[in-house]
Amino acid sequence: MLESALSVPFQSFQGQDFYPGITAKAARLCYGLVMDHPFLDGNKRIGAHAMLVLLELNGISLDYKDGDLIDLIFSVAKGEKDDKSIQVWLLSHLK
């Protein structure tokens, strides 16, 4: 499950990325890690952190309150939000 969660955001077909752009990739990475449960514990934390690190490594900074991010991640874990919703959240919190 871990390998899948890490590779899906970077998949392409005939030179076209399935998740074009860093925010789309980061959102899908977060979603995969949270929903695929590759670890016994900490899937939500790792999903959020991996997303933030991927963005930071690519020079993208966010402006958000911790509670807003926590609410987003818990909504994902409950099945209320998908990767597209995460990307919308990311785009609305760009610095």
What are 17-56's pLDDT values in tens digits?
A: 999 999 999 999 999 999 999 999 999 999 999 999 999 9
Asked if residues 43 and 34 have their Cβ atoms less than 8 Å apart, the reply is: yes
Strands (DSSP E) found in the chain:
12-13, 16-17
pLDDT recorded at residue 57: 98
CATH number (1.10.10.10, 1.20.120.1870, 1.10.150.130, 3.40.50.1220) of 2-92 reads 1.20.120.1870
Helix (H, G, I), strand (E, B) or coil at 75: helix
State mean pLDDT over 49-71: 98
Q: Where are the domains of the chain?
A: 2-92
Asked if residues 7 and 25 have their Cβ atoms less than 8 Å apart, the reply is: no
Asked if residues 19 and 6 have their Cβ atoms less than 8 Å apart, the reply is: no
Instruction: Tell me how far apart the alpha carbons of residues 14 and 50 are, in angstroms, rounded to a whole number.
Output: 27
Average pLDDT of every residue of the chain: 97
